[in-house]
Amino acid sequence: MQEGSSEAAVQALMRASRAFVGLTARALAAVEGEVTLPQFRTLVVLAMRGPQRSVDIADELQVNPSTGTRMLDRLVRKGLVRRTRSPEDRRVVRIRLTQAGRNIVEQVMARRRAELERIVAATADLWRTAVTEALTAFAEAAGELDEHDWWLGWTTHGDAGEVGVTLA
Protein backbone atom coordinates (compact mmCIF):
# COMPACT_ATOMS: atom_id res chain seq x y z
CA MET A 1 0.00 0.00 0.00
CA GLN A 2 1.37 3.41 -0.94
CA GLU A 3 1.79 6.11 1.69
CA GLY A 4 -1.04 8.28 0.31
CA SER A 5 -3.47 5.38 0.15
CA SER A 6 -2.39 4.29 3.62
CA GLU A 7 -3.24 7.73 5.01
CA ALA A 8 -6.58 7.65 3.18
CA ALA A 9 -7.33 4.24 4.70
CA VAL A 10 -6.47 5.49 8.20
CA GLN A 11 -8.68 8.55 7.73
CA ALA A 12 -11.55 6.39 6.45
CA LEU A 13 -11.19 4.04 9.42
CA MET A 14 -11.08 6.97 11.86
CA ARG A 15 -14.34 8.27 10.39
CA ALA A 16 -15.90 4.81 10.44
CA SER A 17 -14.72 4.36 14.03
CA ARG A 18 -16.56 7.52 15.07
CA ALA A 19 -19.66 6.23 13.30
CA PHE A 20 -19.44 2.89 15.15
CA VAL A 21 -19.02 4.64 18.50
CA GLY A 22 -22.07 6.75 17.66
CA LEU A 23 -24.08 3.64 16.79
CA THR A 24 -23.09 2.06 20.09
CA ALA A 25 -23.85 5.22 22.09
CA ARG A 26 -27.32 5.50 20.54
CA ALA A 27 -28.03 1.80 21.11
CA LEU A 28 -26.79 2.07 24.69
CA ALA A 29 -28.93 5.13 25.38
CA ALA A 30 -32.00 3.16 24.31
CA VAL A 31 -31.59 0.39 26.91
CA GLU A 32 -32.79 0.62 30.47
CA GLY A 33 -30.17 1.43 33.07
CA GLU A 34 -27.35 3.90 32.96
CA VAL A 35 -24.29 2.26 31.48
CA THR A 36 -21.38 4.27 30.10
CA LEU A 37 -19.46 3.27 26.98
CA PRO A 38 -16.44 2.09 29.04
CA GLN A 39 -18.77 0.06 31.27
CA PHE A 40 -20.41 -1.43 28.21
CA ARG A 41 -17.00 -2.30 26.78
CA THR A 42 -16.32 -4.15 30.05
CA LEU A 43 -19.54 -6.12 29.63
CA VAL A 44 -18.54 -6.97 26.06
CA VAL A 45 -15.08 -8.14 27.19
CA LEU A 46 -16.75 -10.45 29.70
CA ALA A 47 -19.19 -11.65 27.05
CA MET A 48 -16.34 -12.42 24.65
CA ARG A 49 -13.76 -13.85 27.02
CA GLY A 50 -15.76 -15.18 29.93
CA PRO A 51 -14.91 -14.64 33.59
CA GLN A 52 -11.83 -12.47 34.08
CA ARG A 53 -9.71 -11.13 36.90
CA SER A 54 -10.14 -7.38 37.40
CA VAL A 55 -6.50 -6.79 36.45
CA ASP A 56 -7.11 -8.58 33.13
CA ILE A 57 -10.13 -6.39 32.42
CA ALA A 58 -8.14 -3.24 33.26
CA ASP A 59 -5.39 -4.42 30.93
CA GLU A 60 -7.87 -5.11 28.12
CA LEU A 61 -9.42 -1.65 28.56
CA GLN A 62 -5.96 -0.08 28.93
CA VAL A 63 -6.78 1.64 32.23
CA ASN A 64 -5.06 1.59 35.62
CA PRO A 65 -6.10 -1.37 37.78
CA SER A 66 -7.62 1.02 40.35
CA THR A 67 -9.74 2.65 37.64
CA GLY A 68 -10.87 -0.79 36.48
CA THR A 69 -11.74 -1.80 40.03
CA ARG A 70 -13.87 1.32 40.56
CA MET A 71 -15.71 0.68 37.31
CA LEU A 72 -16.29 -2.95 38.31
CA ASP A 73 -17.58 -1.79 41.71
CA ARG A 74 -20.20 0.31 39.89
CA LEU A 75 -21.17 -2.61 37.64
CA VAL A 76 -21.48 -4.89 40.70
CA ARG A 77 -23.77 -2.33 42.39
CA LYS A 78 -25.90 -2.20 39.22
CA GLY A 79 -26.15 -6.00 39.26
CA LEU A 80 -24.50 -6.38 35.85
CA VAL A 81 -21.43 -8.30 37.00
CA ARG A 82 -20.60 -10.46 39.98
CA ARG A 83 -17.34 -11.27 41.75
CA THR A 84 -16.73 -14.96 42.42
CA ARG A 85 -13.82 -16.82 43.97
CA SER A 86 -12.08 -19.49 41.98
CA PRO A 87 -12.79 -22.97 43.34
CA GLU A 88 -9.19 -23.94 42.50
CA ASP A 89 -7.57 -20.99 44.29
CA ARG A 90 -9.74 -19.00 46.71
CA ARG A 91 -7.33 -16.05 46.42
CA VAL A 92 -8.34 -15.55 42.78
CA VAL A 93 -11.45 -13.44 42.26
CA ARG A 94 -13.05 -13.47 38.83
CA ILE A 95 -15.65 -11.11 37.43
CA ARG A 96 -18.63 -12.77 35.77
CA LEU A 97 -21.45 -11.33 33.73
CA THR A 98 -24.87 -11.63 35.35
CA GLN A 99 -28.05 -12.29 33.41
CA ALA A 100 -28.87 -8.56 33.64
CA GLY A 101 -25.44 -7.75 32.16
CA ARG A 102 -25.96 -10.28 29.41
CA ASN A 103 -29.36 -8.77 28.64
CA ILE A 104 -27.82 -5.33 28.16
CA VAL A 105 -25.15 -6.72 25.83
CA GLU A 106 -27.81 -8.58 23.84
CA GLN A 107 -30.09 -5.53 23.59
CA VAL A 108 -27.31 -3.16 22.51
CA MET A 109 -25.91 -5.64 20.00
CA ALA A 110 -29.37 -6.24 18.54
CA ARG A 111 -29.95 -2.49 18.16
CA ARG A 112 -26.49 -2.01 16.62
CA ARG A 113 -27.07 -4.88 14.24
CA ALA A 114 -30.44 -3.47 13.12
CA GLU A 115 -28.87 -0.06 12.50
CA LEU A 116 -25.97 -1.62 10.58
CA GLU A 117 -28.42 -3.66 8.49
CA ARG A 118 -30.25 -0.42 7.64
CA ILE A 119 -27.00 1.31 6.64
CA VAL A 120 -25.78 -1.66 4.58
CA ALA A 121 -29.15 -1.82 2.78
CA ALA A 122 -28.89 1.89 1.99
CA THR A 123 -25.38 1.41 0.57
CA ALA A 124 -25.82 -2.07 -0.91
CA ASP A 125 -24.08 -1.30 -4.20
CA LEU A 126 -20.82 -0.54 -2.33
CA TRP A 127 -20.51 -3.86 -0.46
CA ARG A 128 -18.28 -5.84 -2.73
CA THR A 129 -16.43 -8.95 -1.59
CA ALA A 130 -13.13 -7.03 -1.32
CA VAL A 131 -14.65 -4.51 1.11
CA THR A 132 -16.10 -7.23 3.31
CA GLU A 133 -12.83 -9.19 3.23
CA ALA A 134 -10.81 -6.07 4.13
CA LEU A 135 -13.07 -5.27 7.09
CA THR A 136 -12.93 -8.89 8.27
CA ALA A 137 -9.12 -8.91 8.05
CA PHE A 138 -8.99 -5.59 9.92
CA ALA A 139 -11.19 -6.94 12.75
CA GLU A 140 -9.13 -10.13 12.98
CA ALA A 141 -5.88 -8.13 13.12
CA ALA A 142 -7.42 -6.09 15.95
CA GLY A 143 -8.15 -9.33 17.85
CA GLU A 144 -11.92 -9.26 17.53
CA LEU A 145 -13.80 -12.55 17.38
CA ASP A 146 -16.44 -13.16 14.75
CA GLU A 147 -19.87 -12.23 16.14
CA HIS A 148 -21.11 -15.76 15.54
CA ASP A 149 -18.20 -17.26 17.49
CA TRP A 150 -18.61 -15.29 20.68
CA TRP A 151 -22.41 -15.38 20.77
CA LEU A 152 -22.35 -19.16 20.39
CA GLY A 153 -20.08 -19.32 23.43
CA TRP A 154 -22.79 -18.24 25.88
CA THR A 155 -23.66 -20.75 28.54
CA THR A 156 -25.65 -20.13 31.66
CA HIS A 157 -24.49 -21.77 34.83
CA GLY A 158 -24.03 -21.10 38.51
CA ASP A 159 -26.57 -19.48 40.76
CA ALA A 160 -28.69 -16.33 40.73
CA GLY A 161 -28.64 -15.88 36.99
CA GLU A 162 -24.87 -15.92 36.76
CA VAL A 163 -23.62 -16.14 33.21
CA GLY A 164 -20.37 -17.70 32.10
CA VAL A 165 -18.92 -18.21 28.69
CA THR A 166 -17.32 -21.25 27.18
CA LEU A 167 -15.61 -20.65 23.86
CA ALA A 168 -14.50 -23.53 21.69
Instruction: Indicate the CATH number for domain 3-165.
Output: 1.10.10.10
State pLDDT tens for residues 97-120. Answer: 999 999 999 999 999 999 999 999
Arithmetic mean of pLDDT over the chain: 84
Range 2-12 average pLDDT: 82
Q: Is the pTM of this model over 0.85?
A: no
135 falls in which pLDDT band (50, 70, 90)?
A: confident
pLDDT higher than 50, residue 133? yes
For the chain, give the percent of residues with pLDDT over 70.
85
User: Domain residues of the chain, as ranges?
Assistant: 3-165
Residues 15 and 94: their CA atoms lie apart, in Å, by: 36
State pLDDT tens for residues 17-54. Answer: 999 999 989 999 988 778 999 999 999 999 988 999 99
Q: How high is the pLDDT of residue 150?
A: 54
156 falls in which pLDDT band (50, 70, 90)?
A: very low
Comparing 80 with 154, which gets the higher pLDDT?
A: 80
88 falls in which pLDDT band (50, 70, 90)?
A: confident
